[in-house]
Homo-oligomer: A and B are copies of this chain.
């Protein structure tokens, strides 16, 4: 039995973690902490199927757990990670605090000093690319949801050296839960419903740094430059990215698809779709699955569609997958 603690359990990702962990045979949730709601029962806030006592983060019994999940705002996560690691507890951080490998990169994208530079680099928790490093890691940075769709959609091509133009266009659409739970004007129902809006487009969204960092690791040639257009999609959960990649004119659609099929042949949570099927959000909702479709638009130009549930494979599910790897459990346990 692995004993776990959750920080930030009243956020969307934290709640989702608790929901999935409830189905995990090898896990015991020892504590659930919430800064703003401590002292309450979870059902006082959301009278659904889950029950938990919410404790103050400072009261968390770190001595009783093997691993903690951090569903905390950026910044707060780093501070809690330090405390947990000092107590000998392994950490899976769902925030962005440890996704960039260097303090310099962090400062470039987040505009201030890293709160715990000594802990960098953490293991980047994209299991499909980084399983071995995760296995022994004390601190795992759970990837961002957008980067998960994009890095999974690029990896086979980058590793095969088949990206012929480093400029890669990514047009992504995310369900609103990706923006977190605190109320904001731009995530109010009437503002997003029956609309679609882009934000932070070009090369300014912070996830661009994360995508380019991971893409650079995978390539032997020129590091890719991501042109990124994220959108707020009027659905609660789910994400779809269209990725436009220049490839050699000789690469056929069948060969490209075969490359993806082989690359992910043994991956339980990545499904490469056959010819005639396109990745769509519905297929992956409420699952830890990522689906990928491969379409040759014309010779030399591939369209990769990459879909996942931003709260599962893009957050809580991927975090549990990381935990399973870190503790040598069956990788799919609790995630079916």
Give A residues with C-beta under 8 Å from B: 12, 22-23, 43-44, 46-49, 167, 169, 171, 173, 175-177, 181-185, 187-199, 201-203, 225, 227, 229, 231, 233-238, 240, 242, 244, 271, 273, 277-289, 291, 295-298, 301, 303, 305, 336
Contact = CB atoms under 8 A, between A and B. Distances in A.
B185 A296 contact: no
Given A48-B283, A201-B297, A190 B278 contact: no
A12 B278 contact: no
Given A173-B231, A188-B189, A197-B240, 16 more contacts: A12-B190, A47-B277, A47-B283, A47-B291, A48-B284, A49-B284, A49-B288, A169-B244, A173-B196, A175-B194, A177-B190, A198-B280, A199-B278, A201-B297, A203-B298, A227-B298
Given A181-B188, A298-B225, A301-B227, A235 B282 contact: no
Contact of A287 (B48, B181, B183, B201): B48
Contacts of A291: 47-48
A249 B181 CA distance: 41
Contacts of A195: 235, 238, 280-282, 285
The copy count of this chain in the complex is 4
A244 B273 contact: no
Contacts of A203: 297-298
B283 A286 contact: no
A295 B201 contact: yes
A233 to B, nearest CB: 6
Contacts of A181: 185, 188, 190
Contacts of A240: 196-198, 231
Contacts of A47: 271, 273, 277, 283, 291
Contacts of A183: 183-185, 187-188
